[in-house]
Structure 1
Amino acid sequence: MFTDEMLIRCEELMREVCADFEVELREFNGEHDHVHLLVHYPPKVALSKLVNSLKGVSARMLRKEYSAHVRRCLWGGHFWSGSYFAGSVGGANRAVRRCPPDRRH
C-alpha cells in the first residue's frame, strides 16, 4: 500500500508526533504494508498512547493527502491494523537493531 513518497510523508508525520510527546524517533523504515520505528522515550510516556497517536495522526493525514490511493488499499475500512509490536533493545548495538539498508527510508 505504501509508495516511497507515502513512506517519506509518514516518517515526517511520525517525527512530529514524537516531538509532541518529547520522544526521539531515532530510525524509521518501512515496506509496502508496514513500518518500523526505533524510538527513545522517557518513562513518563505511555507507549500505548504514543502508538495510538502515531497511528491516528498518520492515518488521518495520509488518507487526506493520498485519498485516491488509500481508498483502494484499506483493510476493512481501516488504515492501520489494530495491533502493534513493541520490543526493547536495551543494550543491543546498532547492527543488531537496524533493518537492512535496502528497507530504510
Structure 2
Amino acid sequence: MNNVQSLNHTAWDCKYHLVWIPKYRKKILYGELRKYLGDVLRELASHKESKIHEGHLRGDHVHMLISIPPKYAFSQIVGYLKGKSAIHVARQYMGRQKNFTGLHFWARGYYVSTACHDEEVIRQYIKRHEEIDKKLDQLGLFK
C-alpha cells in the first residue's frame, strides 16, 4: 500500500507491463530517436495523469511499467501514447508538418499484463534489457 495514489474519491495502485513494436518490427529505435522518444513518451503519459515508472526502448520494441488512473481506459492511454508519439516522429525525423494520412510508425497491437505483486520482477526484467543494450552499444552493433 506504499504506492497508492488517489483521486478525489478513489485510491488506486494500477500498474501495467506494456510492450509494443514498430511497424514490421523494424530495428529503428536506436541512436537519437531512442533518446528523443523516451522523453516524448514520459511527457505524453503525464498529459493523461499517468506515470512511466520504468521504460526501455529496444531496437525493435518498447517496454514500460506504467501506472494509469482508473478513470482512463487502458486502451485509450495506449492509443494516445502510440498516436501522438508517431506524430512527433513524423514531424521531427520525417520532415512532415501536417497530413499524416497513411503514415504508420507503430504496429497496431500491443501486449499488456497487470503488475500487481510481481512489479519488482518486471522492473528487473526491463533493467536487464537495458544492460544488454548498453553492451551491444559498446560493441557498436546498432549505430
- Report TM bin, short chain: 0.7 to 0.9
| 1:1-105 aligned within 5 A | 1-67=28-94, 77-94=103-120, 96-98=121-123, 99=126, 100=128, 101-103=130-132
The size of the alignment, in residue pairs, is 97
Which structure has more helix as a fraction of its residues?
1
What is the Cα-based RMSD across aligned positions, in Å?
Answer: 2.1
* Identical-residue share of aligned pairs (%): 30
Structure 1: give runs of 5+ residues left out of the alignment.
69-75
Q: TM-score, normalised by structure 2?
A: 0.61
Structure 2: give runs of 5+ residues left out of the alignment.
1-27, 96-101, 135-143
| Preserved contact between residue 27 and residue 38 of structure 1 (Cα < 8 Å) | yes
Moved over 2 A (4+): none
| Preserved contact between residue 42 and residue 52 of structure 2 (Cα < 8 Å) | yes
Which structure's CA Rg is the greater one? 2
Q: TM-score, normalised by structure 1?
A: 0.81
Paired letter, 2:109? S
Question: What is the CA-CA distance between 1:12 and the residue it aligns to?
Answer: 0.9
Which structure has more strand as a fraction of its residues?
2
